[in-house]
Structure 1
């Protein structure tokens, strides 16, 4: 792989500086109680899983993703393709969060994450964790689902192992030698990885898992608390346009990195801005908690750490009169402090983040 020549103009320099400034302040910013931080992380994880799978065509909402994951341990197999993708993405993300310090960027780790990603999909059993053996060009379809042409020609199966070896070697060297800013290394790695499209399926989802891995290894410790995938989903059209504008130049003498690098850095800025706004809301709410009734504070504490509780369970925990408890629950729901799910006897509550 040729050494990328990236011209970093004033706008990109400003974006990198702003993201790095937030990275440096994270330890001072994360002053929330552990249960609130855990709740923040759980919501961000659900958003990431839901958004990343929806980018690739899944239909499950965040609420459906949350319900599915809460039942995951009791489910023997996931019936629909959407459920399989959600379960696999959740397992891959869990692995990254738990073991990122020990997961250097290697082809073996990339294959391992791909195996996790497709673990629950029987149709992918033969090729999970292995580079592609068939062409997987990016194609366009008409309204009736008929293929109408190739949008982007990915690397041929024969050349994929060699190009992946070169890409990983370049990224490792660039990271170790600090030849480029780590955010630029990650951006180049991701857009090139997607241009190679090394696996038969799951490349888009895997690229986002690898992005999280590389950001965590580069010291961006706040990443699990705000969903980058959500930002990409909300800017999906620009995501694909930026990818194509850079990818179509990669085989030429002067690749144009600017479209993708600019998009990637702007997404990282939106991610950290969203987290900063949530932290500020949490600070304001914490300051206002002094005025809440004691029972309301008990409810908020009980619903910490991502718990889901019914009225009966909350009554047992708080030992409060049910009618009084219902009033406090209604007030907290109206204030946006907690969320109500279900109806009638199936009603349950969770913390809002």
Structure 2
């Protein structure tokens, strides 16, 4: 059984949990934005999450490329492994965000999510939805996407079914008993899941999907509006270091949970800070901009860019009037201008 009693509740851990829970409690007030604004925040967060989670594992697609791919009607006809992975992650994440209340944490459900995660990946067709059959140590990826040295060894294929069954049973029992704070349980779940590495490939991506699922089920309703994966990507070295330090002790009588829990809670706190800044920015935009400018900014944020032609079709506004709105938006830093003349386009800042 998992030795959660060896967790040391330090002042920093208490402070981090308190700050995250304070935001959790205030989210309904902080998130009092118009539905279309919340929808746009969520769409942006999904794109950031999909792109970041894929790049952590060595994928090379940028957020802009991810956005274009997910906006393409025939996304199922993906031509490269990178695109196949991205589409699978996006579909599973959207399913979790829309149906988290109905997704029980069971071995069967985890296998289903893994199968769906890799459903478009041709190279993974032979193992998706099934436990691994050979060793798969965790390796960090460099800037070129190629694996570096092995970060840590994982559970053997023989031990994997038993260990994952024990992990699922432990988590559900502890969640029902409510003896420990849910953020501690979810953090430890993630560390142990990655130490087992139950599938041949896709474990890192699946662990992040499951973390989002468990956070939503624990009442952290703000999670869909700010990308945790993006936070992890920007602190990837610390991510692998914390995993290695904790993983080396997981199977001892007194595991050292501190490195991983501190990384996990700090990442959640940064996720909250980023969302706070986004909400403040949204409210400032709402308060300061006229309706025509708001429509322009909203389109640019949802689609990544906007042209004069887009703006005319969107607003039915006069070209000269729209030019003035674009000048003001660029001057205030809401949009970035690229090109000139007929080729000019604007990017959401």
- Using the size of structure 2 for normalisation, the TM-score is 0.91
Query: C-alpha separation between the residues in 1 aligned to 2:283 and 2:69?
Result: 31
CA–CA distance in structure 2, aligned partners of residues 272 and 164 of structure 1: 30
What is residue 199 of structure 1 aligned with on the other side? 199
Q: Decide whether the 8 Å contact of 2:76 with 2:120 is kept in 1.
A: no
Deviation at 1:287, TM superposition (A): 2.1
Question: Structure 1 residues 286 and 250 mapped into 2: Cα distance closer, same or farther (>3 Å)?
Answer: same
Shift of residue 103 of structure 1? 0.7
**Residue 299 (str. 1) matches residue 299 (str. 2):** no
Deviation of 1:247 (Å)? 0.2
Q: Distance in 1 between matches of 2:99 and 2:138?
A: 32
1:13 aligns with 2:10: no
Q: Which runs of 5+ in 1 are unaligned?
A: none
For 1:131 and 1:341, the matched residues in 2 are separated by: 49
Contact kept, 8 Å, 1:38 with 1:306, in 2: the verdict is no
Distance 1:17 1:200, change over 3 A: same
**Superimposed CA distance per residue, residues 10-30 of structure 1 (whole angstroms, 9 cap, x where no aligned partner):** 211111111111100001111
User: Secondary structure of 2:255's match?
Assistant: coil
Say what the alpha-carbon RMSD is for the aligned residues: 2.7
Q: Do residues 48 (structure 1) and 45 (structure 2) align? A: no
Q: Where does residue 312 of structure 2 map in the other structure?
A: 315
Q: Distance in 1 between matches of 2:20 and 2:147?
A: 41
* Match in the other structure for 1:66: 67
Q: 1:302 deviation in Å?
A: 5.9
The residue aligned with 1:138 is 138
Deviation string for 1:173-230 (max 9, x for gaps)? 0111112110000011000000000000000111101100000000000000011111
1:32-86 Cα offsets, whole Å, 9 max, x none, are 1111111111111111111111111111111111111111x32442111211111
Partner SS for 2:58: coil
Equivalent residue for 2:328? 331
C-alpha spacing 1:206/1:344, structure 2 compared with 1 (3 Å): farther
Q: Which residue of 1 aligns with 2:221?
A: 221
Q: What CA distance in whole angstroms lies between the structure 1 residues aligned with 2:233 and 2:11?
A: 27
Verify: 1:175 aligned to 2:175, yes or no: yes
Residue 252 of structure 1: how far off its partner (Å): 1.7
Distance 1:306 1:11 in 2: 39
TM-score normalised by the chain length of structure 1:
0.90
- SS state at 1:136 partner: coil
Equivalent residue for 1:279?
Answer: 279
CA contact (8 A) 2:55 2:61 kept: yes
Q: Indicate conservation of the 8 Å contact 1:36/1:304, yes or no.
A: no
Residue aligning to 2:32: 31
What is the aligned residue count?
348
CA contact (8 A) 2:57 2:141 kept: no
Q: Residues 222 and 142 (structure 1 numbering): CA distance in 2 closer, same or farther, change over 3 Å?
A: closer
SS at match of 1:74: coil
**Aligned-pair CA distance for 1:117:** 1.1
The answer to whether 1:105 aligns with 2:102 is: no
- Structure 2: segments with no counterpart, 5+ residues: none
Aligned-pair CA distance for 1:318: 2.7
Tell me, yes or no, if the aligned pair for 1:136 and 1:154 is still in contact at 8 Å. Answer: yes
